C-alpha cells in the first residue's frame, strides 16, 4: 500500500530543497539529490541516513522506502545513464508522460525553492527582531546577562 501524504506533510516536503514536486501520493526529487544520494550510497552510507541528512523525516514512509527508491534509481542509471534521473516516472493524469526536465531546469527549480525558503526565514527573523526590540524598549538593559 502506498503512502498518502497529508496537506501538512506535503507543505513540509515542498519546503525541502531536495524535493522537486510533491502531491498526495507521490514525491519527485531533484536531479542533484538523486545523483548525490547514489554517490553517498556507493560510499557505504545507509539509505535512511541519506534521507535524514537531506532533512527528511523518514518516519512518514514505509519501512525500506529509501532503500527501494535508491535501487530503482540505480536500475534507471544502469539502463539509461545519469540522464534517466531527470525523467519523472509513471503515467501522468492526462494519460501522457510529462516532458523530461533537464538537470539545469531541475537546478533552477531547486534554487527557486531555496530562495523562497530563505526569504521566509528572513521574514521570520525580522519579526523576531522587531518583537525583541519592542519588548526591550523603555527598559534598562542588564549588561550582566548573556542575551543573544
pTM: 0.57
54-99 tens-digit pLDDT: 888 888 888 888 999 999 999 988 888 888 887 765 433 333 334 5
Output the pLDDT for position 97.
39
Mean pLDDT in residue range 102-109? 80
Output the pLDDT for position 43.
92
3 phi and psi, to 5 degrees? -75, 135
Write down the domain spans for the chain: 7-88+99-135
Output the pLDDT for position 49.
92
Distance CA 15, CA 9 (A): 10
Amino acid at each position: 500500500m502506498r503512502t498518502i501524504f497529508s496537506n501538512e506533510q506535503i507543505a513540509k516536503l515542498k519546503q525541502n530543497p531536495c524535493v522537486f514536486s510533491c502531491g498526495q501520493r507521490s514525491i519527485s526529487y531533484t536531479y542533484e539529490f538523486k545523483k548525490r544520494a547514489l554517490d553517498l550510497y556507493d560510499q557505504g552510507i545507509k539509505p535512511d541516513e541519506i534521507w535524514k541528512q537531506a532533512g527528511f523525516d523518514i518516519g512518514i514512509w514505509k519501512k525500506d522506502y529509501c532503500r527501494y527508491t535508491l535501487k530503482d534509481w540505480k536500475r534507471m542509471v544502469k539502463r539509461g545513464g545519469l540522464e534517466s534521473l531527470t525523467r519523472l516516472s509513471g503515467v501522468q493524469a492526462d494519460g501522457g508522460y510529462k516532458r523530461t526536465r533537464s538537470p539545469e531546469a531541475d537546478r533552477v527549480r531547486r534554487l527557486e525553492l531555496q530562495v523562497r525558503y530563505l526569504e521566509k526565514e528572513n521574514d521570520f527573523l525580522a519579526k523576531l527582531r522587531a518583537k525583541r526590540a519592542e519588548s526591550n524598549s523603555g527598559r534598562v538593559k542588564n549588561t550582566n546577562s548573556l542575551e543573544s
